[in-house]
Structure 1
Amino acid sequence: MKKIILISFLALATSISAQIKPKYGFSAGLNISSFSGSDKPDGFSSKAGFHVGGFLWNYLSDKISVDAELYYSQMGSKFETTVPTIDNTTFTLTGKVKNDYIRLPILFDYHPTEEFSIALGPEIGVLLKNKVEYDKVINRSTTSNPKNVQQFDAGLKAKVQYIFAKHYLASVGYYFGMTKVYKNTAVYQQNSILIQEAPKIYNSNLGISVGYIF
């Protein structure tokens, strides 16, 4: 009996999937990214960037789809901080943390109507490059490339999407990072090595997109 029910369910799911063709396309848009977390220093604020990539919606029923996306995304944060000098004075340093990723969200999408949907699911990112830009010369340069940034990032993404004029897509999504942006740091102290735990700083990003569905 259980086998009959299972076979019937699989046959129904296959039939529904065959009747509803997958949708795919591309999208691009604005990123408004920053850092979150209890250890985020004061003076960090949102930074603008962009994202671009493609997506595939695979329908499990007329109301549910599993959405896979792959895109390039500029993330990071602006900052403004006070820096002490060797003569007991301070100066204000401003700049940007620029972390660029290839990102892969897998979202479970609910379609209450044919045009509107709400999606939620995990997202991972692979760091392509990172750079910090300063408004002043620090160590003979206005940029640096920190080595303590994590190569992988993971978190949760929520998204709302709307199809208009049959082929055009508008969406707004928010990413909540759940892995630390920075690695643990080795600090050398009196012929010993002290491992300093990475601060609780996470990526966050608001993405606003427009796209085309084939």
Structure 2
Amino acid sequence: MTQAPAAQSRNTLKGIAILASLPPDSVERIERRCAWKHYAPGEPILDYLDKSDDVFFIVLGEVRVTIYSTVGKAVSFREMGSGEIFGEFPAIDGGPRSASVEARTNCLIASMPASTFRELLETEPGLANALLPRLTKTIRALTTRVYEFSTLAVNNRVQAELLRLARFGPKDGKSARIVPAPTHVEIASRVSTHREAVTRELNRLSRIGIIERRGGTLLVTDVDRLADMVHDATGE
């Protein structure tokens, strides 16, 4: 891990979604108050229950959000990509970290102390206005995950997770690519099951033509058909 000097041209927050409504000079002021670091794939960025309170901006790359049980079982919530932020909950309520975050790819991350972030919420109304819908979206997404864990069978949870990933992937007509293809273990951790159950369902979906494995890519051949399967299971 190396620290990148703020003077480098790539060290910009212009791609951060919640800052999009701010004038350029405001974004530049925020950039100057950030620390900038590179992370390699698999490198931890923050730990569950960590007492730090920094807020992080994903400038480049993707991260994985995970909680580990006392026996070491990983439960992955989601991946986040360039333009997103994480770590804002402790900055807002002063509580501990709710999850661990590690780099999924090579990342450039900007960070700032909670005190600075709270100051910006007061002095930059556009930032606060952008943060509120984001927090609401996060609550809705977590509510959906709790519903799926509580009511859906394992095969339906796998289908729902594939649909979620496909909707973020590159589209081509009715198909979508999930790149890189998640491992069976990664999917299992996201839907709270074991690798063998994921393998069985992926093999079944492959046999009926819903998915195809192409090298490092998982192709969902018909997103609408997969969505119909999830709808039949959830009623939504």
- Bin of the TM-score, shorter chain as denominator length: under 0.3
Using the size of structure 1 for normalisation, the TM-score is: 0.22
Structure showing greater Rg: 1
**Taking CA–CA contacts closer than 8 Å with sequence separation of 6 or more, which of the two structures ends up with the larger relative contact order?**
1
- The structure that is strand-richer by fraction is 1
Instruction: Identify the structure with the greater helix proportion.
Output: 2
